[in-house]
Structures are given as C-alpha cells and as structure tokens.
Amino acid sequence: MSANDEMSLSRRRFLHLVGVIGGSTAAYQAALGLGALPTVALAQPPDIAPLPKGIRKSVLILGACIAGLVSAYELTRRGYDVQVLEASERVGGRVWTVRGGDVIDEVGHRQVCNFDREPHLYFNAGASRIPGEHLALLGYWRELNVELEPFVNLNRDAWVQDDALFGGKRLRNREYVNETRSFVAELGTKSIKPEMLDEQLTAADYKAVLEYLRQFGRLDINLKAARSKRTTSAGFAGPDAMKQLFNSRILSGMAYGESEDQQPVMLVPVGGMDKIVDAFMKKIGKYVQIGARVETLNLTEKGVRVVYRRKGREQESLADFCINSIPMQLLAGIDHNFPNEYAAGLTAVPRGKYFKLAFQAKERFWEREGIYGGISWTMQDISQMWYPSNGIHKQKGVILGAYTFAGAAGDKFAALSPDQRAALAKQQGEKLHPGYSNFVEHGVSVAWHRINHMLGCAAAWNESLRAQWFDRLQSPAGHHYLVGDQMSHLPSWQEGAVQSAFHAIADIDQRVREANT
C-alpha cells in the first residue's frame, strides 16, 4: 500500500457515521453520500437487557483483543456464559505496550526490550492514539476509569525531509505548510473571478472568498505572499522552491495532519495503551485462557464446536455462539467447515505490513529543537519519527524511529534482523536529526506481518473488496461471527473493533430472544 493509498483509505475510513459503523455496506455507502458530516453521535453499547432467568447461553470468544474483551465484558454483564481463548501468551491483540524486559514474539526475530524500567519509557507497538470522536471506545475508558491525556499528533515544529526536496535538507513542517499555502492562496486570488461563483453568490461573497484566501495564505493586504520575497531555510527561493515543494511526495497530504481521522483531538492513555486491556482483564480475566490455540472450528446445528490445544493438551469447547477475532487469513488455515462462499472471503482481503521500531533516547534531543511530541515525516523507509507526548523534560524518552505503512518498506525492514533494522533506522534518522545515532539505544521493532498468531496488520479493505465481501463476512455463518477491526469500517482503529463487537452481540442477543418468545 503506497502512501497515497493510505491517504485515500484514511478518507474513506472516516466517512462513516457512528450509527452505521457496525451496519451494512449499503448503509455505509449512504453515509458516504452524505459526506463528512459531524462525526460524533453518542456511541453506546447495544441496549440489551440481562438474559431472562432460566435461560443459559454460552458464547465462545476467540481472541482476547479489544473486540474479544468488549464482547466478554458486555455479555457476562448480561448473564451469558463466556469463554475466551487467546492463542498467544499475552492478551490485547494489536493493543500492545512493550516495556523493559518484555519479549517480542516475532517469527525468527525474538527480541527482549532493554528499555529502562520507568513509567514513561514504553513503546505502543500497535494502537497508539485515540481520536476524540471514537466515543464507543472512549466510553470504556471512562467507565473503567483508565486515565487519558492528550496525544500530540500534529506538530508544526517537527521536520519534513525528502531527498528530492532542497537537496535532502530537513525543513520544519511549519515552513512546508505555510509556504505551500501562501503560494496556492496567491494563485487563487489571482485566478478566481466573481463570475465563477455560483449564481446566488454576490460580489460581497467574492470578497469573502478572497479574504479567506488572504488569511489562509497569510497574504498581505494587497493579497501578495511575503513568500515570494524570501528564501526558504534550506536556501531555495522563488519558483524553484515552489517547484520542489509541490513535487515532493511528502505533499501527499501527509505532512498536513489534516485527513479527517488525523485531525485534532487525539488522546492517549497515561502509561501505555495496554492500560485498557488491564482494566478489562480485571473485570473478565477469569474467563480468559492464554496459550490456547484453535485447531478445529466446526459450525454445528446448534452452535459451534472448537478444538484447541493448550499446554500440550487437546481440548474441546462447545458453545451456542462463537465471536471470532482470529485474523481472517489465519482463520482460513484452520480446520473448519465454513460454507465455501464464506471461506473464500477469509483470504480475499490483504493485510497491511506495518512496521514499527522504537528506541530509548538517552536524552530528549528533540525538545532542545522545540519539538514537543508529534511526528516528523521523511520519504525514507522509516517514513515517520514520533516524539513522545509524555515525560516532557525528563532525561530519557522513547522515540518511534520508524513507522512504515507502505508494503515495500514493511517488507524491507521485516527481512532484516532486529540489529540491522536498528542500524538502518539510525542511519536514516540522521537526516532528520544530525547526531541521532549517538542519542538512541536499545532499538526494538515489530513487523506485524511476522508476529506470531497475527501475521499481518490491519485488513486492507478497498472499495471493490468491501462491495464484494464485507456484508457477507459481517453476517454470521451459522452461529459464528467474525469480529475485530478487520470486520469494521475502521480497520486499524480500536473503535472499529468495539463497533464490530457491538454488532455481533446485538445480533446474537436478538436471535436468543427471538428463539425464546
């Protein structure tokens, strides 16, 4: 997936209304037609009453990720019997906070994190920020009393860097954004004429448009850009500077932080994203078994039958329903009896090859450059560098030294050993921060498509795949429900996982009640 694909996907990701997020593709398309209307409606769990007395229903939940944990939490509260099987040795799925001493269970690249053990030194290897309008998810943070703080996503003082731009010299995001805006605004004021406005708009409205452009581009009162008089910090000026700025691939919206799901506000838990997992586990941990690997999954007439292996022993679980967050491409490889048209969908959607690498920084060198949190962008393989929003002015910090979402860079990093990855990230980081290599240590990395029991990151839906497969896969196969962010309109976001769980449990509960009336 190229950076451009990523951006247009982001646009699509956003274009849903909460009311339809768990719903059908048809409803989703309707929302698309409406466009980016206000994003926030109250997103509550399905309004489900406790099971009537005397009725017992069991739900087998596969995967102790956010979708699985939410399902277990909501169902047990309503009297359902649940069992949660998790294949790996940890819970949380792609909500994973790595701290000093933790093991990274990547195929062939097992690593131990050597960060100092201080509360602010951790690495959110998967989910790492929560948009303020993800209210279903945020409702759990409130309810379970898990502390949040603002996450700095956009920082105009961070750097952008492209070897094809200004000889590869870094420049401030602020400069990049302000210069291009002023150029476009000046062009706009020259070219937009009153007669181009819709007929109901008047000369006064035209003036308002010019005033908009003036403010947007920081033009002077004569609608001229100060820009044209000056030299950029990298020493380029005038048309040549503009030529380079506009032709840089960084321009593809990335440096702007303005795609809808990246706009402020974003939030982050105090102390690591897995605090929410801990909070769920306190409530429903007793139903969860880790290291339980599903070998067979059969739909039966009345429910599901699952055979799994745990501590070397094969065990069987029978349940009335199954809520399943196993990554679809892995599920396809398990012995199952899904209908063919359902099974075919499991391998239809490719998975992202996201790669993240974190360093412990011996000192917070970025703060001395006036960078407090946020993201620098580069066209090199590392793609992004994230500075921590927390621990401001402490001695050390954990810096994200690479975050790639393009498949090629993901493959490149994945093929390297952990040490080689760290070396490459250091080398490329030097272009953003000269001397970088000397400041960072203890690199740890996660190539999601190589993590055991995962072997892929977010499901990479596109419009045609969604049209072909989404409704079918979201609908149950017998008593079996696919969930997870993979089965939502918000792949890669926890909110998608929560909404997928809401959809499944609402449907299950409705079936249970209909069967009992």
Of 174 and 305, which CB lies nearer to a copy of itself in the complex structure?
174
**Minimal distance in Å, beta carbon 305 to a copy of itself?**
41
Name, in order, each residue with C-beta under 8 angstroms of 337's C-beta and a sequence gap of 6 or more: 297, 298, 299
**Minimal distance in Å, beta carbon 256 to a copy of itself?**
8
Read off the amino acid at residue 284. I
Question: Residue 280: helix, strand or coil by DSSP?
Answer: helix
Q: Which parts of 300-449 are beta strand (E)? A: 304-310, 313-319, 321-324, 335-336, 355-361, 374-378, 384-387, 397-404, 440-447
Of 8 and 296, which CB lies nearer to a copy of itself in the complex structure?
8
**Minimal distance in Å, beta carbon 77 to a copy of itself?**
20
Of 42 and 49, which CB lies nearer to a copy of itself in the complex structure?
42
Which alpha helices (DSSP H) does 441-488 contain, by range?
Answer: 463-465, 471-474
**Minimal distance in Å, beta carbon 135 to a copy of itself?**
5
Read off the amino acid at residue 52. P
Of 26 and 201, which CB lies nearer to a copy of itself in the complex structure?
201
Upper half-sphere CA count for residue 268 (Cβ side, 13 Å): 23
**Minimal distance in Å, beta carbon 232 to a copy of itself?**
8
Of 174 and 453, which CB lies nearer to a copy of itself in the complex structure?
174
Of 197 and 423, which CB lies nearer to a copy of itself in the complex structure?
197
Question: Residue 409: helix, strand or coil by DSSP?
Answer: helix
- Judge contact between 267 and 130, C-beta under 8 A: yes
**Minimal distance in Å, beta carbon 467 to a copy of itself?**
17
User: How long a stretch of residues is the chain?
Assistant: 517
Cα dist from 381 to 124, 161, 289, 295, whole Å: 20, 12, 38, 37
DSSP codes of every residue in 345-372: HHTTS-B---EEEEEEESS-GGGGGT--
Of 102 and 495, which CB lies nearer to a copy of itself in the complex structure?
495
**Minimal distance in Å, beta carbon 66 to a copy of itself?**
18
Of 52 and 239, which CB lies nearer to a copy of itself in the complex structure?
239
**Minimal distance in Å, beta carbon 250 to a copy of itself?**
11
Say how far apart CA 243 and CA 404 lie, in whole Å.
26
Which alpha helices (DSSP H) does 110-259 contain, by range?
Answer: 135-143, 173-191, 203-216, 238-247
Name, in order, each residue with C-beta under 8 angstroms of 18's C-beta and a sequence gap of 6 or more: 39, 40, 41, 42, 43, 135, 136, 499
Upper half-sphere CA count for residue 462 (Cβ side, 13 Å): 10
**Minimal distance in Å, beta carbon 95 to a copy of itself?**
18
Name, in order, each residue with C-beta under 8 angstroms of 128's C-beta and a sequence gap of 6 or more: 151, 268, 273, 386
**Minimal distance in Å, beta carbon 224 to a copy of itself?**
12
Say how far apart CA 393 and CA 361 lie, in whole Å.
12
Of 51 and 158, which CB lies nearer to a copy of itself in the complex structure?
158
For the beta carbon of residue 244, count every other beta carbon within 10 angstroms: 17
Of 135 and 304, which CB lies nearer to a copy of itself in the complex structure?
135
**Minimal distance in Å, beta carbon 218 to a copy of itself?**
6
- Judge contact between 4 and 252, C-beta under 8 A: yes
Of 45 and 476, which CB lies nearer to a copy of itself in the complex structure?
45
**Minimal distance in Å, beta carbon 330 to a copy of itself?**
34
Say how far apart CA 43 and CA 182 lie, in whole Å.
40
Of 89 and 149, which CB lies nearer to a copy of itself in the complex structure?
149
